[in-house]
Amino acid sequence: MITFIRKWIRTLHMIIIIDVMADHGELHRDMINYLKNQTSCTSVQYLLPKIHKNKNPLSGRPIIPADESLTERISQFEDFFLQPHLTKIKSYVRKPLIS
């Protein structure tokens, strides 16, 4: 029940922010619909173990998947507009191709 309430509060907060941006003319109606109309689920955190380190207890890197999460579409929105500018940064490193 607590998880449901937290998710509901985060969803409500996100909708309020989108509505404020819409009221100021910062978002087009299609973008508002895209950002608001989504189903989301709560992400489950898991640990990617660092097997190369001989530590007891086993250490790891926390992973929290964002697929179908509340912020997935907002992340896609930001990524779309930021990608063209990232290559202009001196520290930009192109993602290596996986072979």
Round to whole Å and give the CA distance between 47 and 62. Answer: 5
| Domain boundary assignment for the chain | 2-73
**Which residue in 5, 4, 6, 15 sits closest to 73, CA to CA?**
15
pLDDT digits (tens, 9 = 90+) for 4-58: 666 667 777 777 888 888 888 888 888 888 777 666 666 777 888 877 766 677 6
Q: Which residues contact 97 (CB under 8 A, 6 or more apart)?
A: none
pTM across the whole model: 0.49
As a whole number, mean pLDDT of residues 65-79 equals: 78
Place of tokens 């202009």: 88
